[in-house]
């Protein structure tokens, strides 16, 4: 009987302190505030995305993430040039009046690495999470008007007014990541900071008829980020002194 309790206690210690390797997929939402050059054009907006990630037994994390930016007003209607009347609308085919609403849209794609720092010995797979990433981004002005009735925005002309810019992006995340013992509740919450250095990519700015400024623009997006993780695979190290793993 005594041996039984000793074995049970040893099992409990291993279960409590076990650090595992997780492979998962995370869906996130972020409400972000723009700063820098892009704040002249973009209002606060939403960011949703998907991250494919791995957490190693030593709590280092690696992932690949894609983000889509939407639902933020594009402030500068001058991008449409003389197309906009003094009343703030566009006259389309058949003298139809088309109201223009511009939305700032974009995307980020990056690879990231980080580490989780446990706050206690009860669950060493969770804790403060610091990570950073490097990747590519693009932004543009999206026109949700019925372009089929606006001759000025049909075909290749549309791309001349979208203020498309792209470049490198660097991001950092500071928050808390949870991998629960029952595997049912997993996710993260924290603050994400995204830095971007972009250039306009169009050969001609149709609004002005001039070659656009090709100098680099620096921008920041900052905001709270909430992610829900689905664990796809889990590997547990059975004995801290062993190299053997088993799949769970």
The span from the CA of 193 to the CA of 174, in Å, is: 9
Phi, psi for 66 (deg, rounded to 5):
-125, 135
- List 237's β-bridge partners, or say none: 245
The H or E element containing residue 243 is none
What percent of the chain has a predicted confidence (pLDDT) above 90?
A: 46
Q: What is the mean pLDDT of residues 200-216?
A: 74
pLDDT at 175 over 60: yes
Q: Choose between 188 and 236: higher pLDDT.
A: 188
The three state secondary structure string of 178-221 is EECCCCCCEEEEEEEEEEEEEEECCCCECCCCECCCCCCEEEEE
Tens digit of pLDDT for each residue in 51-92?
Answer: 999 999 999 999 999 999 998 888 877 777 667 766 666 766
Residue 189: predicted pLDDT: 97
3-state SS, residue 201: coil
Q: Is 8 exposed, middle or buried (0-12, 13-18, 19+ CB in 10 A)?
A: exposed
Distance of CA 228 to the CA centre of its chain: 13
Residue 25: predicted pLDDT: 95
Residue 44: predicted pLDDT: 94
The H or E element containing residue 16 is helix 2-17
Confirm if 22 and 55 have CB atoms less than 8 A apart: yes
2-239 CATH: 2.40.160.20
Q: Choose between 2 and 71: higher pLDDT.
A: 71
pLDDT level of residue 235 (50, 70, 90 thresholds): confident
The residue among 164, 166, 187, 185 whose CA lies nearest residue 177 is 187
Q: What contacts 243, CB < 8 A, 6 or more positions away?
A: none
pLDDT at 117 over 90: yes
Tens digit of pLDDT for each residue in 133-151?
Answer: 999 999 988 877 666 667 6
Q: What is the mean pLDDT of the chain?
A: 81
CA distances from 56 to 21, 59, 245 (A): 4, 5, 12
Tens digit of pLDDT for each residue in 16-58?
Answer: 445 789 899 999 999 999 999 999 889 999 999 999 999 999 9
Q: Choose between 206 and 38: higher pLDDT.
A: 38
Confirm if 66 and 96 have CB atoms less than 8 A apart: no
Q: What is the mean pLDDT of residues 169-182?
A: 93
Please tell me what DSSP assigns to residue 159: G
pLDDT at 229 over 60: yes
Confirm if 234 and 248 have CB atoms less than 8 A apart: yes
pLDDT level of residue 12 (50, 70, 90 thresholds): very low
The span from the CA of 96 to the CA of 1, in Å, is: 89
pLDDT at 166 over 70: yes
């Amino acid at each position: 009987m005594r041996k039984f309790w000793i074995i049970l206690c040893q099992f409990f210690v291993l279960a409590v302190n076990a650090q595992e390797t997780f492979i998962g997929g995370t869906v996130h939402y972020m409400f972000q505030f723009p700063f820098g050059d892009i704040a002249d054009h973009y209002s606060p907006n939403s960011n949703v995305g998907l991250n494919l990630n791995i957490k190693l037994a030593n709590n280092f994390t690696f992932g690949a993430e894609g983000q889509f930016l939407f639902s933020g007003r594009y402030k500068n209607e001058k991008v449409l040039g003389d197309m906009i009347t003094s009343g703030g609308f566009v006259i389309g085919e058949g003298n139809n009046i088309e109201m223009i609403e511009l939305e700032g849209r974009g995307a980020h794609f990056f690879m990231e690495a980080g580490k989780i720092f446990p706050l206690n010995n009860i669950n060493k797979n969770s804790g403060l999470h610091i990570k950073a990433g490097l990747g590519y981004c693009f932004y543009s002005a999206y026109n949700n008007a019925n372009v089929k009735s606006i001759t000025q925005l049909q075909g290749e002309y549309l791309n001349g007014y979208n203020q498309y810019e792209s470049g490198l992006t660097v991001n950092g995340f500071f928050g808390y990541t949870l991998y629960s013992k029952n595997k049912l509740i997993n996710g993260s919450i924290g603050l994400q900071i995204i830095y971007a250095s972009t250039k306009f990519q169009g050969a001609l700015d149709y609004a002005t008829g001039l070659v656009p400024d090709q100098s680099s623009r620096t921008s920041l997006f900052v905001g709270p980020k909430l992610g829900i993780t689905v664990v796809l695979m889990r590997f547990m190290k059975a004995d801290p002194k062993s190299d053997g793993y088993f799949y769970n």
